[in-house]
Structure 1
Amino acid sequence: MTYARNHALGRYGEQVAAAHLESLGMTVIERNWTSRYGEIDIIAREGATLVVCEVKTRTGRSHGTPLEAVTPRKAARLRRLAAHWLEVHDLAPPALRIDVVAVTVPRRGAACVERISGVA
Structure 2
Amino acid sequence: MNHNQELGAAGEELAANYLLDAGYAVLERNWRCNLGELDIVAETNGQIIGVEVKTRSSLGFGHPAEAVNPAKLRRLSLLVRRWCVTHRRNPHTVRVDVLAILMPPGREPRIEHLIGVES
Do they fold alike, i.e. is TM over 0.5?
A: yes
Residue 32 of structure 1 is matched in structure 2 by 30
Q: Deviations over 1:79-105 (max 9, x none)?
A: 111121111112110111110001110
Residue 72 of structure 2 is matched in structure 1 by 74
Contact 2:48–2:80, Cα closer than 8 Å, also in 1? no
Quote the Cα distance in structure 2 between the aligned partners of 1:114 and 1:23. 14
Contact 2:49–2:80, Cα closer than 8 Å, also in 1? no
TM-score under structure 1 normalisation?
0.94
Q: What is the 5 A alignment of 1:102-117?
A: 102-117=100-115
Quote the Cα distance in structure 1 between the aligned partners of 2:76 and 2:65. 14
Report deviation, 1:59: 0.6
Moved more, 23-32 or 84-93: 84-93
Percent identity at matched positions? 38
Residue 44 of structure 2 is matched in structure 1 by 46
Paired AA for residue 36 in structure 1: N
Quote the Cα distance in structure 2 between the aligned partners of 1:58 and 1:112. 10
Give runs of ≥4 in structure 1 deviating > 4 Å.
none
Report deviation, 1:33: 0.3
Where 1:28 maps in the other structure, the secondary structure is strand
Give unmatched runs, 5+ long, in structure 1.
none
Quote the Cα distance in structure 2 between the aligned partners of 1:15 and 1:29. 14
C-alpha RMSD of matched pairs (Å): 1.0
Paired AA for residue 49 in structure 1: Q
Give unmatched runs, 5+ long, in structure 2.
none
Residue 83 of structure 1 is matched in structure 2 by 81
TM-score under structure 2 normalisation?
0.95
Quote the Cα distance in structure 1 between the aligned partners of 2:51 and 2:101. 12
Contact 2:54–2:98, Cα closer than 8 Å, also in 1? yes
Contact 2:23–2:44, Cα closer than 8 Å, also in 1? yes
Q: Deviations over 1:50-82 (max 9, x none)?
A: 111000000111111111111001101101111
Where 1:118 maps in the other structure, the secondary structure is strand
How many residue pairs get aligned? The number is: 118
Paired AA for residue 84 in structure 1: R
